[in-house]
Structure 1
Amino acid sequence: MDGVRRRSHWAWGYADEEPAADELAATAELMTAVTGFRLDGEIEEPVPLDAVELPAPRVEPPPLECCTTEPYARITHTYGQAYRDLVRAFRGRFDSPPDVVARPRDEREVMHVLEWAENAGVAVVPYGGGTSVVGGVEPRDLGPVVSLDLTGLDQILEIDPLSRAARIQAGMLGPAIDRRLAEEGLTLRHYPQSYELSTLGGWLATRAGGHFATLGTHIDDHVESIRAVTPRGVWESRRLPASGAGVSPDRMLLGSEGALGVITEAWMRVRPRPDFRVSTTVTFPSFERGAEAVLAIAQSGLHPSNCRLLDPTEAWLTSGGDGTYALLMLAFESADHPVDALLDRALELARLCGGAWEEIQNGGGGGEHGTGGQGGAWRNAFLRMPYLRNAYPSIGLVAETFETAVTWDRFAAFHTAVIGAARDALHGGGIVTCRLAFAYPDGAAPYFTVLAPARRGAEIEQWDAIKRAASEAILAAGGTITHHHAVGRDHRPWYERQRPEPFAAALRGAKAAVDPAGILNPGVLV
């Protein structure tokens, strides 16, 4: 439709944001200078939308206005945003697109789509913003598929200012949620890296990690109740601050990835926007000393809102460091009281671990911490990374990120093992960095980034080798296959080894009860 901004058919973001030729050349020059890689100098062009060859739909769509088989809709609902998705889309490889795309405008249409799909033997893949990096929305080896796009359910239906809660539809994008709540002086305060293009329903279905590095780290911590539609009826928990009444219906849906129901709305805990904020960056002579400080702060009861530690290489690549020190971004915030004393105590703990700092920033209620200095530089790099990555297939770079969590007693050995496994998979030709993204009293959530020169045409094989090596090392060293990226199809082999078999049987039983025909996102979890 004229005047409607369209998502790119292959890249992160919108079609009018795809990198131009001069931007690609500049990015290639920048990445060569920053990484020291010897790139081949070739700038490859993506396959344009009108040149994509798409398999014909294998099923006729239902007689519903919300359903379409239009090629652009099918193409843009084929993949998520993993690097392997980006490369395949860049090269025009859309071998297994959904046959139908449904964009329901209300819950009644969701029910009609599920009824049709069950009767027709068509798999249903729920789709929010399409930002999965683990194959969670890809209709891989499923037979006929309808991609159920929930972004038409995009309203805040109620706000309860006394209880500080809001009833939000699942298809609402992060920025829209924040804008609407800001009108009431409120915020959900959840900012994953995918925030710009991801939805509440996607956050809930994948147990997304967000703004807070301690305490309310996952979207789970902000839930009062969830409502979902299944082929066997509506599943809605009672809205309560807490309950000890058996296994929680909410906890069954959180992380269910669309396999146990289509999340349509939720009551979410919200809060006043912070008026008191203070932040700084702390340098350490090594990542190990920085980790000691994070441990001390996490166990202190101070509960900083930001406590993210970058290793020297990541600090160098993203924050203007020189590669000789680790960098801790530390911040506190409150809507009720000054937080300067909390930062002062955290800095005392950091000093005992060799930490040093210069400037302390005071700020209001913006989206993230650190508007200037190295913290601000990292924040900007963090937010721009998906756009920067759009250039990688063109200039010949492979990128992968993987995240996990592990207890403090295992952390040192774990970090060494996983970094070593990832480097071995690169055969000496790449960079591996680590940051501690979230911190708990009993452990931390390391987040690893891998960059390497691409073998043109073999990027998927490179990515798979890195993914496999890292995943094996994570499980062998006692970590979880994912802290907040979810299981999807890419992590499922390791998830099946991580979970206890009696629990797996219980999960299969729950799915059989609400989805006896097995149409809801087959291939994830079970």
Structure 2
Amino acid sequence: MATTTRSWWGWGTAEDAVRGSELDALLRRVRELLPDADLTPTTAPAVSDLGLPTPRVAAPRALAPLCSHEPTDRAAHTHGKAFRDVVRNLAGDLRSAPDLVVRPRTEQDIVDVLDWCSRSNIAVIPYGGGSSVVGGTEPRVGDGYTGAISLDLAELGQVLEIDRTSRAARIQAGVLGPALEDQLRPHGLSLRHFPQSFEFSSLGGWLATRAAGHYATLYTHIDDMVESMRVVTPGGVAQSLRVPGSGAGPSPDGLFLGSEGTLGIITEAWMRLQDRPAWRAGASVHFAEQDAAVAATRAIAQSGLHPTNCRLLDPAEALLNTGVHTSGGVLVLGFESADHPVREWMRRAVELCRDHGGDLPAPPRYTEDAESTANENTADNWRAAFLRMPYQRDALAARSMIVETFETACTWDRYPELRAAVSEAASAALASTGATGMLTCRFTHLYPDGPAPYFGIYAAGRRGATLQQWDEIKAAVTEALHTRGGTVTHHHAVGRDHRPWYDRQRPGPFAAALSAAKTGVDPAGVLNPGVLLPGMAP
């Protein structure tokens, strides 16, 4: 098997970075859209040149074999994978590097590490695959701690038990997406949770951030797939009862789902699985008017058809990522089933689209029809572009481009006003920062009562100033989301970067209850300080 090297400064592996004809085509598209962009490349510094701060703590002898202070380890665990993380890495700004990277091999190791850190006032930053885009894995904890460790769960990556009868499995939290599916495949099972970060994110990370996967409807969040969880906290181990459902008070799992490592370390979970699909259908629908495309998408979301994929790309998004010119956008549709053909579901969805003026440049594709599934189409082009987006973002970030996203959810009645407010805020922020660019939008997930819009910024920044430009744009757009009834995040989590708006979004009594829970399970306050709740004053 060919070996690959994880990039310490950017997305994925070094071998898969954008280069050659792909890079040429990417830069050509940028020059067409933004002819004045300065695309002079910046090269990431060598780890040996970073000048990382000297570790402030040393592990007890019993834990030392689990710990690493190697510069490459510390550099790779300093930031997540957001645009601002990549820009800081390229500039060699790793001032928040963890003192140690700790890789527990057993649950008892985690207990021992938390005991040590609680006694010694050392911040503990849980780390799964490191794909956070909201500052969730960054040891940005201030000076109130004697040190900070990155607790990497990579050694806890096994499927421990499979219940084929109930179609569920007990899985360790450190397993990454591909390794999980590889272990389930021989049993004909799948978790069917494929976020864009799938290759480089873990089950524990999905649970801790309430991640959303590839299902556009119905099975949207990882929450829907949990039977029970096991969580190690400084105050003890929490193991919830494994049942298909329970009305016994507030859900224990609900406390830890989305807790982002502030209340405990998720070590394993029983997860609901699915049989691997045998029937699939896909189609791409073009629209001449954006409002009609939104209306068609809403009709499908409220139809009870529950498509696996139902992603609406606005004209700019469709052009950038599929090369298709439309005046109203493209709706990427998909259905799948392990039990039955899905032609009738696709037929009805297409009918709803045509009722709103949608046009299919090619007929739907079905798994039973090998010839049509082999034909290249807009949906296939978008899927390929979707997986390459983070790599392309890195290539552009290294060339002073501002390429980043906002994701939210709102009710259907509020969407027009929210979209207009975001567009206005983005335009004003781009102008005030001196950046020239554009705003795109796609719906990533759908509910009967509203969409999850995902906005993208593509702008030519000022060399050496893109981080400051982005921070101003982000603040302006996130404020618009908050004031127009959108959530601060639909599936990227809160982390440290969304905290100011999260503090305003959550109800006061809930904030008090969350703070009390934090005190109860983590009295020393060492678990991921500054995420969801205030940490020690810097």
In structure 1, the residue corresponding to 2:293 is in which secondary structure? helix
Kept after mapping to 2: 8 A contact 1:286/1:311:
no
* Cross-structure match for 2:112: 112
Distance in 2 between the 1:27 and 1:372 partners? 19
Distance in 2 between the 1:93 and 1:328 partners? 41
Match of 1:176 among 157, 175, 179: 179
* Cross-structure match for 1:401: 405
* Cross-structure match for 2:271: 268
Shift of residue 24, structure 1, vs aligned partner:
8.8
Taking structure 1 as reference, are residues 191 and 24 closer, same or farther at Cα in structure 2, changes over 3 Å only?
closer
Kept after mapping to 2: 8 A contact 1:11/1:18:
no
Q: Deviations over 1:397-450 (max 9, x none)?
A: 111101000001111111111122112211171010000111111111000000
Taking structure 1 as reference, are residues 396 and 371 closer, same or farther at Cα in structure 2, changes over 3 Å only?
farther
Kept after mapping to 1: 8 A contact 2:287/2:326:
no
For 1:144-163, list aligned pairs within 5 A.
144-163=147-166
Distance in 1 between the 2:307 and 2:18 partners? 37
Match of 1:458 among 451, 459, 465: 465
In structure 1, the residue corresponding to 2:281 is in which secondary structure? strand
Distance in 2 between the 1:233 and 1:370 partners? 54
Kept after mapping to 2: 8 A contact 1:24/1:395:
no
Distance in 2 between the 1:124 and 1:138 partners? 10
Query: 29-38 or 466-475: which moved more?
Result: 29-38
Shift of residue 489, structure 1, vs aligned partner:
0.2
* One-letter code aligned to 1:200: L
* Cross-structure match for 1:49: 47
Kept after mapping to 1: 8 A contact 2:281/2:366:
yes
Structure 1's consecutive aligned runs of 4 or more residues displaced over 6 angstroms after TM superposition are: none
* Cross-structure match for 1:89: 89
Kept after mapping to 2: 8 A contact 1:280/1:370:
no
Shift of residue 362, structure 1, vs aligned partner:
0.9
Distance in 1 between the 2:506 and 2:32 partners? 40
Please say if 1:60 is aligned against 2:53. Answer: no
Shift of residue 332, structure 1, vs aligned partner:
1.1
Taking structure 1 as reference, are residues 182 and 115 closer, same or farther at Cα in structure 2, changes over 3 Å only?
same
* Cross-structure match for 1:333: 336
Shift of residue 44, structure 1, vs aligned partner:
2.0
Kept after mapping to 1: 8 A contact 2:228/2:243:
yes
Runs (5+) with no aligned partner, structure 2: 534-538
* Cross-structure match for 1:247: 250
Distance in 2 between the 1:27 and 1:524 partners? 39
Q: Deviations over 1:356-412 (max 9, x none)?
A: 113211128xxxx99830001110010011111121232221111010000011111
Shift of residue 323, structure 1, vs aligned partner:
4.3
Kept after mapping to 2: 8 A contact 1:329/1:375:
yes
Give the percent of matched residue pairs that are identical in Structure 1 and Structure 2: 53
Kept after mapping to 1: 8 A contact 2:104/2:153:
yes
Taking structure 1 as reference, are residues 30 and 461 closer, same or farther at Cα in structure 2, changes over 3 Å only?
same
Taking structure 1 as reference, are residues 145 and 395 closer, same or farther at Cα in structure 2, changes over 3 Å only?
same
Shift of residue 26, structure 1, vs aligned partner:
2.0
* Cross-structure match for 2:366: 362
Kept after mapping to 1: 8 A contact 2:47/2:71:
no
Taking structure 1 as reference, are residues 24 and 319 closer, same or farther at Cα in structure 2, changes over 3 Å only?
closer
Distance in 1 between the 2:347 and 2:16 partners? 42
Taking structure 1 as reference, are residues 160 and 34 closer, same or farther at Cα in structure 2, changes over 3 Å only?
farther
Distance in 2 between the 1:354 and 1:337 partners? 29
Q: Deviations over 1:239-261 (max 9, x none)?
A: 11000000101111110000010
* Cross-structure match for 2:445: 438
In structure 2, the residue corresponding to 1:179 is in which secondary structure? helix
Kept after mapping to 2: 8 A contact 1:25/1:43:
no
Distance in 1 between the 2:510 and 2:27 partners? 50
In structure 2, the residue corresponding to 1:60 is in which secondary structure? coil
* Cross-structure match for 2:501: 494
* One-letter code aligned to 1:380: A
* Cross-structure match for 1:12: 11
* One-letter code aligned to 2:457: V
* Cross-structure match for 1:133: 133
Please say if 1:282 is aligned against 2:285. Answer: yes
Distance in 1 between the 2:22 and 2:376 partners? 27
In the superposition, the TM-score normalised over structure 2's length comes to: 0.94
Distance in 2 between the 1:371 and 1:483 partners? 34
Q: How many residues align?
A: 521
Distance in 2 between the 1:95 and 1:36 partners? 33
Match of 1:186 among 186, 189, 192: 189
For 1:418-437, list aligned pairs within 5 A.
418-427=422-431, 429-437=436-444
Shift of residue 266, structure 1, vs aligned partner:
0.5
Distance in 2 between the 1:345 and 1:81 partners? 40
* Cross-structure match for 2:536: none
Taking structure 1 as reference, are residues 478 and 78 closer, same or farther at Cα in structure 2, changes over 3 Å only?
same
In structure 2, the residue corresponding to 1:171 is in which secondary structure? coil
Distance in 2 between the 1:352 and 1:370 partners? 28
* One-letter code aligned to 2:247: G
* Cross-structure match for 1:485: 492
Please say if 1:29 is aligned against 2:36. Answer: no
* Cross-structure match for 2:518: 511
Distance in 1 between the 2:183 and 2:32 partners? 40
Please say if 1:467 is aligned against 2:465. Answer: no
For 1:199-238, list aligned pairs within 5 A.
199-238=202-241
Taking structure 1 as reference, are residues 371 and 310 closer, same or farther at Cα in structure 2, changes over 3 Å only?
farther
RMSD: 1.9
Shift of residue 33, structure 1, vs aligned partner:
3.9
Distance in 2 between the 1:299 and 1:323 partners? 25
Kept after mapping to 2: 8 A contact 1:279/1:370:
no
Kept after mapping to 2: 8 A contact 1:209/1:219:
yes
Kept after mapping to 1: 8 A contact 2:335/2:345:
yes
* One-letter code aligned to 2:225: H
In the superposition, the TM-score normalised over structure 1's length comes to: 0.96
Q: Deviations over 1:154-175 (max 9, x none)?
A: 0000111110001111000001
Q: Deviations over 1:32-85 (max 9, x none)?
A: 345334222422222122211100011112321111212111111000001000
Distance in 2 between the 1:279 and 1:41 partners? 37
* One-letter code aligned to 1:60: A
Q: Deviations over 1:197-235 (max 9, x none)?
A: 000000000011101100010011111011110001101
Kept after mapping to 2: 8 A contact 1:287/1:310:
no
In structure 2, the residue corresponding to 1:145 is in which secondary structure? strand
Shift of residue 6, structure 1, vs aligned partner:
3.4
